[in-house]
């Protein structure tokens, strides 16, 4: 990449979902200019050729703008749905009985087909079934091998193929459906940078996806099931990052329990040094309005104050009337929050685990030194990206300049707090490391003459996982005369 765009004037990253409102190269470029750092491709909708064209458009913008761009492929996951109704819908009355069965015939106001045999074995009397994002609530009264009898607690209109949420039990569904496996193979062949795994319930779900993905992409676990909250630490240990997916989580949990759950997920991810994305309905009103509500602005600000690595736009940028404005608003909120004199004190309310390795100690020391000497940037050399992630988790009040010879590593940094990634030739000596760090700091605009920099790297060079050097240098402003 010939050019190097200047770093963002903020640390938190903006993840924008692409869709019908933002599927052209020109709009993607406008989203990038407005502040998007990463792009979500939702595998639940559209065809694979459409996704291939979308990914190609992102890569074209990446090439023309000289900034590594992050692509996250979001798998649909095992979504549960009822069958079809005669006439397309039915009305369920409060207090009446309703049966879900294994008969494929069209349903009515007394029964409907449920094409998920796993539920018949997992459900017990007393469990709830939430239909159509919780608009209807059924309480299980009896379960047989071919029928689930329920009482309607919250009735209303139910129509074909509406979603079913089961908050009270762990359903033994595979983490990856046949569609997910096909979509995952496609996404990996297309060279996406992150894969989001939907409806994670157990750490084994993450392990199943990891076995297929290997090192071809980073793996993000979406937390949207109460069962996942019960095993959150184990899931985080196996995933590369986590998302607070408040859509389905807000259906399966009472609404008032979602904010504490969000706080807990963010805090635990921060403690383990794993990137965390806060998502869903952040600027929902901007789907149809050029400006958000004050409550939405506060919601985004809260996630940033908590130290989230990234905040996400869903329908706002994918299908809304104001996709570019939504990204620009997210960017503006982030800048304002991070300009707050109390921001860094708030961010450090939840400290990360210092770890026990030499690399962990070096990263913690670099953050401490940078604060003491008022450094302009932490510059890290990395092959895998682990050094940059360790530096980012310290939440130092300065940017992390990530220099890597691998475009794949640079692209993955789009979900990591405070990291500006640049693809550059590898280094072979300590002297080359120092000179290249200086040149790149000046070239990207991160540093100016007289600024101190804190360098972290691993010796021997080009060996992943060997972070063992911290070094302080000062820019003179003449380094650009070098190579």
Residue 175 CA to residue 181 CA, distance in Å, equals 10
The residues annotated with a catalytic role in the active site are: 40, 81, 222, 280
254 shares its domain with 188? yes
* Residues 334 and 475 grouped into a single domain: no
Which DSSP letter does residue 137 get? Answer: E
Judge if 66 and 93 occupy the same domain: no
Q: How far apart are CA 155 and CA 150, in angstroms?
A: 12
Domain-located, residue 7: no
Residues 380 and 389: their CA atoms lie apart, in Å, by 10
Cα–Cα distance measured from residue 392 to residue 415, given in angstroms and rounded to the nearest whole number: 11
pLDDT at position 352 is: 53
Confidence of residue 459 (pLDDT cuts 50, 70, 90): confident
Query: E strand or H helix at 303, and its extent?
Result: helix 294-305
Q: How many domains does the chain have?
A: 3
The two beta strands, 276-279 and 241-245, are parallel
Shared domain for 422 and 366, answered yes or no, is: yes
Residues 6 or more apart in contact with residue 467 via CB below 8 angstroms: 358, 359, 362, 363, 380, 382, 386, 387, 390, 456, 457, 458
Quick: pLDDT tens for 23-66.
999 999 999 999 999 999 999 989 999 999 999 999 999 999 99
Calpha distance 279→225 (Å, rounded): 14
DSSP-derived letter for residue 85 is B
Examine the pLDDT at 5 and tell me if it is beyond 70: no
Q: From CA 6, how far away is CA 442, in angstroms rounded? A: 10
Q: Is the pLDDT of residue 3 over 70?
A: no
Boundary of a domain, candidates 300, 328, 347: 347
**Structural domain that includes position 321:** 13-77+174-347
Residue 324 is predicted with a pLDDT of 98
Q: Verify that 120 and 60 share a domain, yes or no.
A: no
| Co-location of 191 and 322 in the same domain | yes
CATH of the domain at 63: 3.20.20.60
- Quote the pLDDT of residue 350: 53
388 located within any domain: yes
Q: Which of 115, 131, 165 is the last residue of a domain?
A: 165
Distance CA(399)–CA(448), nearest Å, equals 14
**Domain presence at residue 5:** no
Burial class (CB in 10 A: 0-12, 13-18, 19+), 478: exposed
CA 375 to chain centre: 30
Inside any domain, residue 70: yes
- On whether both 19 and 40 belong to a single domain, the answer is yes
pLDDT tens-digit map of 251-295? 889 889 999 999 999 999 998 989 999 999 999 999 999 999 999
Of 327, 347, 367, the position where a domain reaches its end is 347
């Amino acid at each position: 990449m010939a050019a190097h765009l200047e770093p963002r004037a903020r640390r938190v990253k903006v993840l924008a979902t692409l869709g019908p409102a933002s599927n052209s190269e020109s709009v993607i470029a406008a989203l990038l200019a407005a502040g998007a750092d990463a792009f979500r491709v939702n595998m639940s909708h559209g065809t694979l050729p459409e996704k291939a064209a979308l990914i190609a458009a992102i890569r074209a913008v990446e090439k023309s703008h000289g900034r590594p761009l992050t692509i996250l492929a979001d798998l649909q996951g095992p979504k549960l749905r009822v069958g079809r109704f005669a006439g397309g819908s039915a009305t369920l009355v409060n207090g009446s009985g309703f049966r879900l069965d294994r008969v494929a015939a069209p349903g009515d106001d007394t029964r409907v087909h449920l094409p998920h045999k796993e539920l018949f074995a997992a459900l017990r009397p007393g469990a709830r079934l939430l239909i159509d994002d919780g608009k209807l609530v059924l309480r299980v009264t009896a379960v047989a091998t071919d029928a689930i009898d329920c009482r309607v607690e919250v009735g209303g209109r139910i129509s074909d193929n509406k979603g079913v949420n089961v908050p009270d039990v762990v359903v033994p569904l595979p983490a990856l459906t046949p569609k997910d496996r096909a979509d995952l193979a496609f996404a990996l062949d297309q060279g996406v940078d992150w894969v989001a795994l939907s409806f994670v319930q157990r750490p084994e779900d993450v392990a199943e996806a990891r076995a297929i993905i290997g090192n071809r992409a980073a793996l993000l676990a979406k937390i949207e099931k109460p069962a996942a909250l019960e095993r959150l630490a184990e899931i985080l240990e196996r995933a590369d990052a986590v998302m607070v997916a408040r859509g389905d989580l807000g259906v399966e949990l009472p609404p008032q329990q979602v904010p504490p759950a969000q706080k807990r997920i963010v805090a635990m991810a921060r403690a383990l040094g794993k990137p965390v994305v806060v998502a869903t309905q952040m600027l929902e009103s901007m789907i149809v309005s050029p400006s958000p509500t004050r409550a939405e602005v506060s919601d985004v600000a809260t996630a940033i104050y908590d130290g989230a690595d990234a905040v996400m736009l869903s329908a706002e940028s994918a299908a809304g009337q104001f996709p570019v404005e939504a990204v620009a608003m997210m960017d503006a909120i982030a800048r304002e929050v991070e300009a707050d004199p109390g921001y860094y004190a708030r961010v450090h309310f939840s400290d990360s685990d210092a770890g026990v390795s030499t690399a962990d100690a070096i990263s913690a020391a670099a953050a401490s030194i940078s604060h003491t000497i008022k450094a302009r940037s932490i510059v890290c050399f990395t092959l895998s990206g682990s050094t940059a992630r360790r530096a980012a988790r310290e939440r130092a009040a300065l940017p992390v300049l990530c220099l890597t010879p691998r475009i794949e590593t640079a692209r993955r940094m789009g979900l990591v707090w405070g990291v500006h990634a640049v693809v550059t030739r590898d280094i072979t000596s300590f002297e080359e490391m120092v000179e290249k760090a200086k040149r790149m700091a000046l070239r990207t605009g991160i540093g100016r003459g007289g600024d101190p920099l804190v360098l972290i790297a691993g010796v021997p060079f080009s060996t992943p996982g060997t972070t063992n050097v911290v070094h302080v240098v000062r820019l003179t402003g003449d380094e650009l005369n070098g190579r």
